[in-house]
Amino acid sequence: MYELTFWTYQEGIYLNNHLVYEAIAEEQFVEGLEEIPVNIIINRINSLFSNWERVDEYSWKNSNGKGAFHVRTTSQSIKIDCYGTEGKTMDILVNALEEFKCPLYDPQIPARYDGLE
């Protein structure tokens, strides 16, 4: 599994990314984060992956190849668990979230790709 995590800081706020990630993992509300349009983002992901099998409201499986992913949300964050997902598929997800001003935090490295570090 490879995990992708996304959130947006409120203007003028910048917190310890790893501590934010840990709080998000526990589904805690984090002071200093924006609320994001979760349903609109899920709809965007669904439109981008309309040729994938939608397993349930938050899960997609590539019926023509390999890979699957599951989206977990809070009012402030999106976490995507990727299972055997190709890099180009993850790039589509990252780019989709950037449309909503939600840069990637990659907990495996760990690094946030917002140009502020």
Start-to-end CA span in the chain (Å): 26
Task: Give residue for tokens 């449309």.
Answer: 99
In the chain (117 residues long), the average pLDDT of successive 10-residue segments reads: 97 96 96 98 97 96 92 97 96 97 96 82
Tens digits of residue pLDDT in 49-71: 999 999 999 999 998 888 999 99
For residue 77, the 8-state DSSP code is E
28 vs 20: CA distance, rounded Å = 9
Is the pTM of the predicted complex or chain greater than 0.85? yes
